[in-house]
Structure 1
Amino acid sequence: MNDWTPKPNLSATLHKLPLTAEEGFVLSRLDGSTSVRHLLALTGLPPERLQAILSRLVAHGAVLPSTPAPRPPPLEARTDAPGEEPAAEEEAPPLEPEEEAPEDATVEVAAGNWRAVFERLLHPLPEDERASRARTAEEPELSAFCFDPVPTVIKSVLENMRVGLGHARLIARHHHNPVGLEALCGRAAFTMDGGVRRWLVRNPQLPSGLFRRLWAGRRLLEQYKVSMDRDVPEGTRRTAREVMRTRFNTAPAEERVELILTTEGRVLTSLMGLAVDGKTAALLCGRTFRSPMLIQNIARWSAAPPALIAHLLKQEAVRRQPQLRMLLQRHPNAPADARRGG
């Protein structure tokens, strides 16, 4: 049962269902890709209690029932001819780093309800009383306290033994005080969560120093995505570009190549003035280039190694497109015979 991945029923009319606050809390944590095993950590609920809530959500029609995985065909069903070797399966391409699914309408509705609880019932209380109550609060008050603008209250929320990833995501998204965000990022388990990181970089109050601490050691491709995300404030995007440039100088050659190839060379405009080492150049020269966009971006990269320019001039895609060949021949690192039109 712990391997089951509950999926919300998108056709259900949620506001007409007789859901309790606890059931609504669990439903808001379902994104269709999180298994029960991970939901235990996300919600902080005991296994038996979580299973009971999920069963009620299925009964209400808010969650789709689990379906068994299809069984593999029996061995005798193979169609290989006698004496033949089994056909080799095509190797699957490497997967991109898994990203968190965006919050769906269910989460948005729940967040609106928690904010309303905070504004109506909790915000009128004195600050010290809110901080005291937040340390021992249960749902739905605990989620509502995540909307408190005072860092002292947020620190109390983080001291609550029931706090989980769902609360951390709410704080990362809705708390707009750098002190509170610093307190949130003091919990390593939270900052490792993709959802928390996604909302942190979109928070306009994320301090640049905090971003540098959290993202300096992350992969180049992840830093690049932050720098290009239009939902991220320009100040954080600028910091992400600076962090990426710094890391590019020390990153493994394989990671540099991954960044250049995955972005089809678009990243190179952000790497002006930076050169690559011999291993990176050798890895690039060991590949076949078919993308005109990638070839064009490398041709406009002033730091492109001479060996890479020579390698690109030999590619079939370049031979077929004179405009690409001309771009490469005009590169300052192009071989002398290529610049002469040889």
Structure 2
Amino acid sequence: MNDWTPKPNPSARLERLPLTPEEGFVLSRLDGATAVRHLPALTGLPAERIHAILARLVSQGAVLPGPTAAPAPQPPPTRARADAPPDEPSARHEEPLAPEEDEAPEDATVEIAAGNWRQLFERRLHPLPEDERASRARAAEDPELSAFCFDPVPAVIKSVLENMRVGLGHARLIARHHHSPVGLEALCGRAAFTQDAGVRRWLVRNPQLPSGLFRRLWSGRRLMEQYKVAMDRDVPEGTRRTAREVMRTRFNTAPAEERVELILNTEGRVLASLVGLAVDGKTAALLCGRTFRSPMLIQNIARWSAAPPALIAHLLKQEAVRRQPQLRLLLQRHPNAPADARRGG
């Protein structure tokens, strides 16, 4: 039961189901990728209560029944290994990474519940004096606790975070809907929250996220994660700009394997953001140890002024380049191309 990943029933008419506030709260936390064993931390409810609520949600048709047998394990998304020899299958894949499971968008059920909580806050809680809301938030239970996550006053958000029942679901609501840098700073004071992919996803989309806070939280993260933020159209331009600066800084110090992963998994698109940066000998050697089949990747490297001479020479030997004269011409015109190649040799 603990390994079961409950999934909301997409065909269920939730507005017609007699759900209690607690059942609606748990249902809103089901994203189709979180196993039962993680729900106590996500909801703040004991495991026994979670099991009872899930059983009722299944009986009402709000959640799909669990499998009678464990499904066969699926292979993980293909990741190009930086150290794989060129004759291994993984070395031949140069496609972008598939999205991570924990990066799945919020379920529509969460949107419905969030609308209800916002309504509760605006109609019943917001008219209360600020100090009374802050006091009440420290001991509130759901659905009131979730409603307090919509409070625009940082002092109330700090009280929510002091509540012993606060969990990842509340942290995600604050990251998404609270628009005060002071409140976001308070949220990010909890390491357990900032490690959650959902919290990070909504933080970077929040226009009030301070650039200093972004640098503090993302400077040590992998280059691919920084790149995704820099390219995400749902992220405000100011944060995207900061993400590009952070990525450039980290690219200078990241391990060679991580640099290669970034270049290959973006098919070289990242190179446009790395103008003026060079790579070390190990990075060049790892790239030269691979077989290149993607025209897009080869083209982007050919337009990268810092491409090492050895890599240009290696690309000129690839079958994909031999078959496509336009790629060969691009490489031959590169300033680091071998002299005989520039002469058309």
**Which TM-score bucket, shorter chain as reference?**
over 0.9
Q: Which of 1 and 2 has higher RCO (CA within 8 Å, sep 6+)?
A: 2
Q: Is 1:311 the counterpart of 2:314 in the alignment?
A: yes
Give the corresponding residue for 2:153. 150
Deviation at 1:98, TM superposition (A): 4.2
State the TM-score, normalizing by the size of structure 2: 0.92
Task: Calculate percent identity across the aligned residue pairs.
Answer: 86
Give the corresponding residue for 1:26. 26
Deviation at 1:91, TM superposition (A): 8.1
Secondary structure at the aligned position of 1:137 is classed as coil
Q: Deviations over 1:274-309 (max 9, x none)?
A: 000000000000000111111111000000000000
Give the corresponding residue for 1:284. 287
Give the corresponding residue for 2:56. 56
Secondary structure at the aligned position of 1:275 is classed as coil
Secondary structure at the aligned position of 1:136 is classed as coil
Give the corresponding residue for 2:35. 35
The AA in structure 2 aligned to 1:272 is V
Secondary structure at the aligned position of 1:244 is classed as helix
Contact 2:158 2:186 in 1 (8 A): yes
Q: For the residues of structure 1 that align with 2:342 and 2:103, how far apart are their CA atoms?
A: 48
Matches within 5 A, 1:168-179: 168-179=171-182
* Farther-moved stretch of structure 1 (310-319 vs 98-107): 98-107
Q: Is 1:273 the counterpart of 2:271 in the alignment?
A: no
Give the corresponding residue for 1:78. none
- In the comparison of the two structures, how many residue pairs are matched? 325
Give the corresponding residue for 2:108. 105
Q: For the residues of structure 2 that align with 1:221 and 1:71, how far apart are their CA atoms?
A: 30
Larger radius of gyration: 1
Give the corresponding residue for 2:199. 196
Give the corresponding residue for 1:262. 265
Give the corresponding residue for 1:338. 341
Deviation at 1:43, TM superposition (A): 0.5
Deviation at 1:49, TM superposition (A): 1.0
Deviation at 1:5, TM superposition (A): 1.1
Deviation at 1:70, TM superposition (A): 5.0
Q: Deviations over 1:81-120 (max 9, x none)?
A: xxxxxxxxx9898975544211121110000000000000
Q: For the residues of structure 1 that align with 2:271 and 2:50, how far apart are their CA atoms?
A: 48
Secondary structure at the aligned position of 1:307 is classed as helix
Q: For the residues of structure 1 that align with 2:14 and 2:254, how far apart are their CA atoms?
A: 48
Structure 1 runs of 4+ aligned residues shifted over 6 Å read: 90-95
Q: For the residues of structure 1 that align with 2:219 and 2:260, how far apart are their CA atoms?
A: 18
Deviation at 1:32, TM superposition (A): 1.0
Deviation at 1:48, TM superposition (A): 1.2
Q: Is 1:239 the counterpart of 2:218 in the alignment?
A: no
Give the corresponding residue for 1:46. 46
The AA in structure 2 aligned to 1:19 is L
RMSD: 1.6
Q: For the residues of structure 1 that align with 2:26 and 2:156, how far apart are their CA atoms?
A: 23
Q: For the residues of structure 1 that align with 2:106 and 2:168, how far apart are their CA atoms?
A: 13
Give the corresponding residue for 2:251. 248
Secondary structure at the aligned position of 2:253 is classed as coil
Q: Is 1:118 the counterpart of 2:144 in the alignment?
A: no
Q: For the residues of structure 2 that align with 1:91 and 1:235, how far apart are their CA atoms?
A: 36
The AA in structure 2 aligned to 1:226 is V
Give the corresponding residue for 2:77. none
Secondary structure at the aligned position of 1:64 is classed as coil
* Farther-moved stretch of structure 1 (94-103 vs 211-220): 94-103
State the TM-score, normalizing by the size of structure 1: 0.93
Give the corresponding residue for 1:8. 8
The AA in structure 1 aligned to 2:49 is R
Give the corresponding residue for 1:136. 139
* Farther-moved stretch of structure 1 (20-29 vs 2-11): 2-11
